[in-house]
């Protein structure tokens, strides 16, 4: 099994979000988007993570302090291929596999990365990517395959022909590369596209043309494919993440009476047999013990610690 490192693309500004904050710092259920991607890399055993920063670089670095993260500055945002090339000097002697992900994809799952890795290893491929099939693929790069199902390349949405726009299999940017083959290909990428940027997707055609094996596995759930480029998408991602959080609590023995009218942040800890009543909002680093009853109409904020067996009710004044 090859050693793996990860490169996370987190340099973007996102004009559509109309923000002065670095995009990857916007929160989903109380945590910055980037935190979820870092955790996903760690969950599959990645020991070295290179995060590409650009706009708001100092903001991003201030939020995270970890021994396994190394920051790499992309001074000019010239596209995804250019961003990864910023790591070339640091990885020039690395002989393993490099995982490339986007920092604005907080809905990433460990299970998907494991499928990607298993496919890469079983196929002995130079590059493997995980794809998704979407009913509405607008905005995503399309996966182009031949009549036998072999991947021929990726075409960005703005560069698609009418026929390619009808393709529903898309690229949500989950890549696993042989490190040396990846950098050899990236150096040959040209900005031959509408935006004049250097796309990492163009490296796939170069790798194929060199006679290397490229494999695409449809492993990404539609909800995971969501990248955050607007406040609306941020809100949508929050709802999906909230559902996951509550499902996990319920699987672990917590009763949530009305999930649609309850909000629990990702950092919250709740013990077994606790009941969460409707219209309860639990924010941030809060710890709730076992056999508690919380709500209804309760707001709990950090650094609250609720002991086992406690009841927290709304304070209602009566005349």
What is the rounded CA–CA span in Å between residue 251 and residue 12? 36
Same fold, 4-225 and 252-312: no
| Tens digits of pLDDT across the chain (319 residues) | 779 999 999 998 878 899 989 999 999 999 999 999 999 999 999 999 999 999 999 999 999 988 899 999 999 889 999 999 999 999 999 999 999 999 999 999 999 999 999 999 999 999 999 999 999 999 899 999 999 999 999 998 988 999 999 999 999 999 999 999 999 999 999 987 777 789 999 999 999 999 999 999 999 999 999 889 899 999 999 999 999 999 999 999 999 999 999 999 999 999 999 999 999 999 999 999 999 999 999 999 999 999 999 999 986 544 4
What pLDDT score was predicted for residue 317?
A: 44
Could you tell me the two tokens for 37? 């991607």
DSSP letter, residue 136: -
Which residue, chain included where needed, has tokens 């040209």?
Answer: 190
What pLDDT score was predicted for residue 318?
A: 43
CA torsion through residues 222, 235, 266, 296, sign: negative
Could you tell me the two tokens for 166? 């009808």
Helices (H), 124-230: 162-165, 179-186, 202-209
**Does residue 303 have a cis peptide bond before it, meaning omega lies within 30 degrees of 0?**
yes
Q: For this structure, is 4 an active site residue?
A: no
The fold of the 252-312 domain, in CATH, is UDP N-Acetylglucosamine Acyltransferase; domain 1 (2.160.10)
CA–CA–CA angle 226, 227, 229 (5° rounding): 125
Query: In the chain, helix, strand, coil percent, each to 5?
Result: 30, 25, 45
* Correct CATH for 4-225 of 3.30.70.580, 3.90.550.10, 3.30.43.10, 3.30.390.50: 3.90.550.10
CA 173 to chain centroid, in Å, comes to 9
Element of type H or E holding 113: helix 110-123
What is the rounded CA–CA span in Å between residue 281 and residue 268? 11
Structural domain boundaries in the chain: 4-225, 252-312
| Catalytic residue, candidates 16, 109, 244, 318 | 16
What is the rounded CA–CA span in Å between residue 185 and residue 188? 5
CA–CA–CA angle 224, 227, 230 (5° rounding): 135
């Amino acid at each position: 099994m090859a050693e793996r490192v990860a490169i996370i693309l987190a340099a973007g500004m996102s004009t559509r979000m109309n923000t002065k904050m670095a995009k990857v710092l916007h929160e989903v259920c109380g945590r910055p988007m980037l935190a979820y991607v870092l955790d996903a890399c760690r969950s599959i055993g990645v020991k070295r993570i290179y995060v590409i920063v650009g706009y708001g670089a100092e903001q991003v670095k201030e939020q995270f302090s970890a021994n396994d993260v190394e920051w790499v500055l992309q001074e000019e945002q010239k596209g995804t291929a250019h961003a990864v090339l910023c790591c070339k000097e640091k990885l020039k002697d690395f002989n393993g596999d490099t995982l490339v992900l986007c920092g604005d994809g907080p809905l990433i799952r460990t299970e998907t990365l494991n499928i990607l890795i298993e496919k890469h290893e079983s196929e002995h491929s130079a590059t493997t990517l995980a794809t998704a099939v979407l009913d509405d693929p607008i905005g995503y790069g399309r996966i182009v395959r031949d009549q036998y199902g072999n991947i021929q390349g990726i075409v960005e949405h703005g560069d698609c022909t009418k026929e390619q726009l009808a393709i529903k299999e898309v690229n949500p940017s989950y890549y696993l590369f042989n490190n040396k083959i990846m950098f050899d290909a990236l150096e040959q990428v040209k900005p031959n596209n509408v935006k004049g940027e250097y796309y990492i997707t163009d490296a796939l055609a170069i790798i194929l043309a060199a006679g290397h094996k490229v494999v695409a596995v449809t492993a990404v759930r539609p909800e995971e494919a969501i990248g955050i480029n607007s406040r609306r998408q941020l809100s949508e991602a929050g709802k999906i993440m909230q559902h996951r959080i509550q499902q996990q609590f319920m699987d672990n023995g917590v009763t949530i009476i009305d999930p649609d009218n309850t909000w629990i942040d990702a950092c919250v800890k709740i013990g077994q047999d606790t009941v969460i009543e409707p219209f309860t909002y639990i924010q941030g680093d809060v710890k709730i013990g076992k056999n508690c009853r919380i709500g209804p109409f309760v707001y709990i904020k950090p650094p609250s610690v609720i002991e086992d067996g406690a009841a927290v009710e709304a304070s209602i004044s009566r005349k």
